Amino acid sequence: MQAFHAPTARFVGRDVERLLALEEVERLFASETLVVDACRNVVRAGGKVVSLSTRPVLLALVRALAAEWPGDVARETLLNQAFGARHADDSHRARLRVEIARLREAIKPLATLRATRRGFVLQPTRELRSAF
């Protein structure tokens, strides 16, 4: 019985990180909240689920964007987190544009990506509600 109350997941958001118990995870998955599930390699909201299990670069990009939501993420940060690029060159920037386009298409049922002056911002298509 104690296992059901032990932390089962980690919630990461802008300026917050905390452990979640199983019932909190269930409540989060049942809500309309956009969730990047790094354990199952999916993005979900409500009943919709988009698998990124065969797309590790897209998963890395959406994780970085979700962690800073509702703020934007600098291109250099995305390049570092998704590709391990320490110093961006033209080929890295071109690859980022291609992967952002692929991510836009993959998560279209759940969210959009908008370019900002310094990078990109994730915009869920549904109104986000707190699950807690």
Higher-scoring residue by pLDDT: 83, 114: 114
Task: Please state, in angstroms and as integers, the Cα–Cα distance from residue 114 to each residue in 5, 30, 36, 71, 121, following that order.
Answer: 38, 26, 18, 11, 5
Options 1.10.10.10, 3.30.465.10, 3.40.50.2000, 3.40.50.720; which CATH number does 2-123 get?
1.10.10.10
Instruction: State the Cα–Cα distance between residues 59 and 55, nearest whole angstrom.
Output: 6
**40-85 pLDDT per residue, tens:** 999 998 889 999 999 999 999 999 999 999 999 999 999 998 888 7
What pLDDT sits at residue 31?
81
Tokens of 73: 């993420």
**Four-point Cα dihedral 132, 68, 102, 116, nearest 10:** 130
Higher-scoring residue by pLDDT: 24, 116: 116
Cβ neighbours for 29, distance < 8 A, ≥ 6 positions apart: 35, 44
Instruction: State the Cα–Cα distance between residues 62 and 79, nearest whole angstrom.
Output: 12
Tokens of 47: 């009943």
Instruction: State the Cα–Cα distance between residues 58 and 122, nearest whole angstrom.
Output: 13
